Amino acid sequence: MVKIGVLGLQGAIPEHIRSVQTTGVEGIIIKRKEQLDEIDGLILPGGESTTMRRLIDKYDFFDALVTFGNRGKPIFGTCAGLILLANQIIGQDHAHLSLMDMKVERNAFGRQRESFEAELEIKNVAEDFEAIFIRAPSIESVGPDVEVLATYHDKIVAARQGHYLCSAFHPELTDDHRLTEYFVKMVKS
């Protein structure tokens, strides 16, 4: 059976596990880097990217996560997870995992009180996906190997580069599991 891990350091962990399980595969909360060897794909959940990076360093996950991605294992980053995947972050000297060729802006749509929902068309996923944006980042630019999957008000909010997938919004907070299903199909192939 396909096993999808959710990095269990901070963020919407149980919601991602529930979403993964609705697709018929096993969801595993990843608390130790050794567990990465047991899974076929990994979700980096939303949360707070700076805090998540501190916890990644504290629990010695950094090299293991980069190796996991470099071995061709699929990774899906949502909201803060998108920021962790980027190789450039506006206003920061250093990126985090640097696995996707994109420049991102943190809190691009405003702070917590500016959170909103919007219906999106996501290429190869849905024409009517109800997306929840909470202190969401945006992708300001992408490299030539990155496919834009969705935009909102001329800002890129979902993209794919090979075995990496990211969204600026929180698909796990809805009952629409089509984006998670898309990731599961990436893992299976």
* Catalytic site includes residue 79: yes
* Catalytic site includes residue 166: no
* Catalytic site includes residue 172: yes
Per-residue b or e along 41-51, where b marks 16 or more CB atoms closer than 10 Å to that residue's CB: bbbbbbbbbee
In Å, how far from its chain's centre is CA 115? 18
The span from the CA of 93 to the CA of 109, in Å, is 21
Catalytic residue among 15, 105, 172, 181: 172
Catalytic residue among 79, 96, 105, 181: 79
Catalytic residue among 105, 170, 177, 181: 170
3-state DSSP call for residue 31? coil
Q: Is the dihedral of CA 90, 116, 145, 97 positive or negative?
A: positive
CA distances from 121 to 98, 130, 168 (A): 27, 9, 14
Active centre residues (catalytic): 79, 170, 172
